Copies of this chain bind each other. A is one copy, B any other.
């Protein structure tokens, strides 16, 4: 499966992928309505994913995890989101946090968390975006101040996934003493002052749980701050999560393709099955192309990420590069391709496709998310321009 991996690692990854596929067919696909109903989090299916030894599959072996590469994680996420994209999203999003822990945290601080998550599953919550700081994180107003060996954190966070069920939160906050300094701070979920304001009633991806959160004078030891600039650390973590968000679109597009083919085998047009109609064939050919290109872009971006992680000092290397061009391109491309698939899909099933009796409506809503979360197109285009077009030396 993986181009660069040893035969052993490839076999292990293939075996794991097979188990994910079985899990999806047994536990997820039969329950589409359940996931779309904004089920209580964590879902029973999350627990079963842990029981199956599949939770947090990407955590490295040195912490007791399965150590699956990001390259192979792309295929796992494609399988999970073929089942339910919201469930997939909730299952992999902790990678944003574990990547930061791994690269930017003291081993003694982060090891227990990573080992626990490898052993018994569970999620991390990332508290970054705010009402006035969605795409521009430099506008964050959540603050921390040092008070002896402690830091005290207060602020309102807008969109944060998995937070309620997490044992550990990672909060991006601004230094009260210096406007220009940001940190990522570990805040145990049970810390006094962490308040879940509400769970958002999302349009799609409703198998995941996203919250508005308030932090009111939360106190944690000062060493709970990760090393380095908080916004840069976040960029590093986003490299992983953006690639896997992009990969959810692969599974969703595959689902649209398969539903379309099923429909076309029974639907008649001009006296022949739809499957023999040239316009239909053209739409499916286009979707197949998009699937292939999305997959290859996600894999290439993930392989680049894996390459940094395999370096002697991955933390420094990744800190220097910051947000990866290929990860940005994967997120943006898959968002645009997802919307192309949603557009084709939402026209495919006639009137029935515009009712809740048919699953396409849910898929269209899920597909929309890929282009919005962790940077809409305008934000990502701007990042690509500023980071990779303006500096002549970075063009290629």
Residues of A within 8 A of B (CB): 3-4, 129, 132, 134-136, 139, 158-159, 200-204, 254, 257-258, 261, 268-270, 275, 277-279, 281-282, 284-289, 292-293, 296-297, 299-301, 303, 325-326, 328-329, 332-333, 339, 343, 346-347, 350-357, 361, 368-369, 371-373, 376-378, 380-386, 388-390, 392, 395-396
* Closest Cβ neighbor of A386 among chain B residues: B281
- A281 in contact with B382 (CB, 8 Å): yes
User: Contacts A300-B300, A373-B351 known; A281 to B385 CB distance under 8 Å?
Assistant: yes
Q: Are A293 and B201 in contact (CB under 8 A)?
A: no
Of B353, B369, B389, which one neighbours A257 at CB under 8 angstroms? B389
Cβ–Cβ contact B293 & A293, under 8 A: yes
Taking CB atoms, residues of chain B closer than 8 Å to A303 are 3
Known: A288-B385, A288-B389. 14 other contacts (CB 8 A): A135-B269, A135-B350, A202-B354, A203-B354, A279-B279, A279-B282, A281-B385, A281-B386, A282-B378, A284-B385, A285-B382, A293-B297, A346-B372, A351-B372
Q: Quick check: A134 and B384 within 8 Å, CB to CB?
A: no
Contact A351 B158, CB 8 Å, known A325-B292, A339-B343: yes
Residues in B whose Cβ lies below 8 Å from that of A381: 281-282, 284-286, 289
Most buried by B among A159, A289, A357: A289
Could you tell me the dominant secondary structure of chain A's interface residues? helix
Question: Can you pick out 28 interface pairs between chain A and chain B where the beta carbons lie within 8 Å of each other?
Answer: A3-B3, A129-B351, A158-B352, A159-B351, A201-B356, A201-B357, A202-B355, A257-B395, A258-B395, A261-B392, A275-B390, A277-B278, A279-B282, A282-B382, A284-B385, A285-B383, A285-B384, A285-B385, A285-B389, A286-B381, A287-B389, A288-B384, A289-B328, A289-B380, A293-B297, A350-B372, A354-B372, A354-B373
Q: How many monomers of this protein are in the complex?
A: 4
Q: How far is the CA of A299 from the CA of B288 in the complex (A)?
A: 18
**Separation of A170 and B201 alpha carbons in the complex (Å):** 41
The residues of B that contact A297 with a CB separation of less than 8 Å are: 292-293, 296-297
Give complex CA distance A36, B284 in Å: 33
Docked CA distance A350–B304 (Å): 29
Complex Cα distance, B281 from A203, in Å, reads 26
Contact B354 A289 (CB under 8 A): no
A64 smallest CB distance to B (angstroms): 29
Q: In the assembled complex, how far is the CB of residue A135 from the closest CB belonging to chain B, in whole angstroms?
A: 7
